[in-house]
């Protein structure tokens, strides 16, 4: 019997060992490197429980969701197989390490780095006794960072989006009066949380398609309604709507583009909460409670809080965040004023070269656009493309055009006299064209006693990056 039990235990241990080896066995996986050469690496296949990465890992064909925050314990290289879709639902903490992303030949593998860990604010309590006021809503939680650390993209499709801020809690409704008194006031709505960061670190793009967005600010909570008044008494005031949260940076660091394509967008501001309605008046009173004011919309945020260098690539587009819409004012309870609507939030610069970093284009095409302010009782400010300190520095044979926030309309050439600080959009193109070179041979004159001979051979050479042209004039003899 003992021998049989030992045999069973040994067999079980063997099965566990085989399962463990199979789960962590590395596979030979092909990828395309930064120089677009096909290579092969020994990589570990990711699963839904893969929340720590190091060395070479890969996402297989099909859709895989990892519902935990991922931590890098060392530098890691991620291969996206063609046809793979990987979703990191709660983002990545690189913990001081670098993640390098590779694709395969077709470049169809995709990874989404998100962060959905924000929570909404708590609603205020309703007035719980005669004519008591409703409680205020609390502020929503801030959106989380989608990728904390440095990233290099050599291929595949990479999408990074900061977490949205949580909505503000709703204000509680005021209690109705029951003993010759005014109704309770409604509680104020809580403010929306801030949008999270897309990437909190640097990103270098050598190939592939990348889009990065800052998280949206959370919407403000609505104000609570005022309670009804008792006989001959007015209703309670409506609560004020909460302010919308500001959007988050898409990239909080420097961006370098050597190839591929990149779209970067700052987070949009959240909408302001609506004001609560005023309470109805009691019998014999004609004055209801005034409506609460709507909350201000949140401000859009810059796309890049750092510098950008473009050395190549198909195209690069950077756009600031749009301002949030102001909340509607609450209706009055009778013969009093409605609440004022909230102001719209301000749109944002694409980036600030005055405070955070420089704009450099050595070869490529870069579009920078500010965004519009939100709608409200007063419209939010529409921001210019870039906040320049002293103007754009000289960058070789650079062409620039002015574009409006809706890219493509009202374009005009920049001739060096326009104020860069008042451009809603700038397109910077550097074609790296070599300057023309002209060489002319000197004339040669020979004189003899019998005759004078003058020979002139003019040679002009013009060199550009595209072609070389040589012209030789015919010799003239007199």
pLDDT digits (tens, 9 = 90+) for 316-354: 999 999 999 999 999 998 878 899 999 999 999 888 765
Strands 62-66 and 84-88: parallel
pLDDT of residue 428: 72
The single residue listed with the structure tokens 């004159």 is: 445
**pLDDT digit string, tens, across residues 323-333:** 999 999 999 98
Tokens of 60: 């297989």
Residues linked to residue 159 through DSSP beta bridges, in sequence order:
112, 211
Which tokens in the block code for residue 272?
A: 């302001």
pLDDT for 298 = 97
Q: Is the pLDDT of residue 284 over 80?
A: yes
Tell me the β-bridge partners of 113: 88, 160
Q: Taking the model in full, what pTM does it have? A: 0.79
Name which of 265, 317, 320 is nearest 427 in CA terms: 317
pLDDT digits (tens, 9 = 90+) for 376-428: 999 998 887 777 655 554 444 444 444 433 333 333 333 333 555 566 677 77
Distance CA 257, CA 245 (A): 31
Question: Please, which residues bridge with residue 19 across strands?
Answer: none
What is the reported pLDDT for 222?
98
Torsion-angle region of residue 91: left (phi > 0), alpha (psi -120 to 50) or beta?
A: left
- The candidate with the shortest Cα–Cα distance to 160, out of 168, 169, 149, 171, is 149
- Phi and psi angles of residue 51, each rounded to the nearest 5 degrees, phi first: -105, 5
Backbone CA torsion sign across 137, 138, 139, 140: negative
- Residue 368 reports pLDDT greater than 60: yes
Residue 42: other Cβ atoms inside 10 A: 11
Q: Over 50: is that where the pLDDT of 466 sits? A: no
Does residue 131 come out as left (phi exceeding 0), alpha (psi in the -120 to 50 range) or beta?
Answer: left
Cα–Cα distances (Å) from 136 to 217, 224, 342, in that order, read 20, 8, 18
Question: Residue 180: left if φ>0, alpha if ψ -120 to 50, beta else—which one?
Answer: left
* Mean pLDDT to the nearest integer, 361-365: 83
Burial pattern 382-416, b for ≥16 Cβ within 10 A else e, equals bbbbbbbeeebeeeeebebbbbbbeeeeeeeebee
Mean pLDDT lowest among 3-17, 51-65, 429-443: 429-443
Q: What's the rounded mean pLDDT across residues 180-184?
A: 90
Task: Tell me how far apart the alpha carbons of residues 160 and 214 are, in angstroms, rounded to a whole number.
Answer: 8
Percent of the chain whose predicted confidence (pLDDT) is above 90: 62
Closest CA to 371 of 402, 400, 342, 404: 404
In this model, does residue 213 exceed pLDDT 70?
A: yes
pLDDT in tens, 123-166: 999 988 777 999 999 999 999 999 999 999 999 999 999 999 99
Buried b / exposed e over 141-164, threshold 16 CB at 10 Å, is bbbbbbbbbbbbbbbbbbbbbbbb
Radius of gyration of the chain (CA): 33
Identify whether the C-beta of residue 273 lies closer than 8 Å to the C-beta of residue 325.
Answer: no
Chain segment 268-282, per-residue pLDDT in tens: 999 999 999 999 999
The Cβ-side half-sphere exposure at 446, using a 13 Å CA radius, reads 8
How far are the Cα atoms of 235, 254, 267, 438, 464 from residue 458, in angstroms, in the given order? 98, 52, 62, 11, 20
Kindly report the backbone phi and psi dihedral angles of residue 30, in degrees, each rounded to the nearest multiple of 5, phi listed first.
-85, 155
Q: Which of 339, 338, 264, 343 is nearest to 301 (CA)?
A: 264
| 14, containing H or E segment | helix 2-24
Q: Which DSSP state fits 388?
A: -
Provide the pLDDT for residue 367.
86
Measured over the CA atoms of residue 346, residue 348, residue 349 and residue 354, the dihedral's sign is positive
Paired sense of beta strands 468-472 and 459-463, if any = antiparallel
- The pLDDT assigned to 420 comes to 54
pLDDT, mean over the chain:
81
């Amino acid at each position: 019997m003992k021998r049989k039990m030992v045999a069973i235990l040994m067999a079980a241990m063997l099965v566990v060992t085989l399962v463990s080896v199979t789960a962590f066995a590395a596979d030979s996986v092909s990828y395309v490197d930064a120089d677009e050469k096909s290579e092969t690496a020994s990589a570990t296949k990711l699963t839904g429980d893969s929340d720590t990465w190091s060395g070479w890992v890969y996402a297989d064909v099909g859709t895989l969701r990892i519902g935990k925050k991922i931590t890098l314990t060392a530098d890691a290289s991620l291969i996206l197989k063609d046809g793979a879709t990987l979703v990191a639902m709660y983002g990545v903490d690189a913990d001081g390490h670098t993640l390098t992303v590779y694709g395969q030949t077709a470049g169809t593998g995709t990874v989404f780095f998100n962060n959905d860990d924000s929570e909404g604010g708590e609603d205020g309590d309703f007035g719980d006794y005669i004519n008591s006021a409703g409680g205020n809503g609390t502020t929503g939680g801030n959106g989380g960072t989608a990728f904390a650390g440095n990233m290099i993209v050599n291929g595949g499709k990479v999408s990074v989006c900061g977490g949205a801020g949580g909505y503000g809690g709703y204000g509680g409704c005021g209690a109705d009066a029951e003993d010759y008194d005014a109704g309770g006031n409604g509680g104020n709505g809580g403010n929306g949380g801030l949008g999270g960061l897309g990437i909190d670190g640097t990103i270098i793009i050598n190939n592939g398609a990348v889009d990065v967005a800052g998280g949206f600010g959370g919407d403000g909570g609505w104000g609570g309604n005022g309670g009804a008044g008792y006989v001959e008494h007015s209703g309670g005031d409506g609560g004020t709507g909460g302010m919308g949260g500001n959007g988050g940076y898409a990239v909080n660091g420097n961006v370098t583009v050597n190839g591929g394509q990149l779209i970067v967008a700052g987070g949009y501001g959240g909408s302001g909460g609506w004001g609560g309605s005023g309470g109805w008046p009691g019998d014999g009173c004609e004055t209801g409670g005034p409506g609460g004011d709507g909350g201000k919309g949140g401000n859009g945020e810059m796309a890049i809080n750092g510098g950008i260098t473009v050395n190549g690539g198909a195209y690069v587009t950077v756009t600031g965040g749009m301002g949030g819409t102001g909340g509607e004012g609450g209706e009055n309870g009778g013969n009093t004023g409605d609440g004022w609507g909230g102001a719209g939030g301000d749109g944002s610069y694409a980036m600030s070269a005055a405070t955070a970093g420089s704009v450099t284009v050595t070869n490529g095409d870069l579009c920078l656009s500010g965004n519009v302010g939100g709608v409200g009782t007063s419209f939010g400010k529409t921001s210019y493309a870039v906040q320049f300190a002293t103007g754009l520095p000289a960058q070789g044979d650079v062409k620039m055009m002015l574009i409006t926030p809706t890219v493509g309309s009202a374009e005009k050439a920049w001739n060096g006299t326009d104020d860069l600080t008042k451009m809603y959009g700038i397109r910077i193109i550097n074609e790296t064209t070599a300057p023309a070179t002209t060489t002319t041979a000197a004339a040669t004159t020979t004189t003899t006693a019998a005759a004078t001979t003058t020979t002139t051979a003019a040679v002009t050479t013009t060199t550009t990056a595209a072609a070389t042209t040589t012209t030789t004039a015919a010799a003239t003899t007199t």
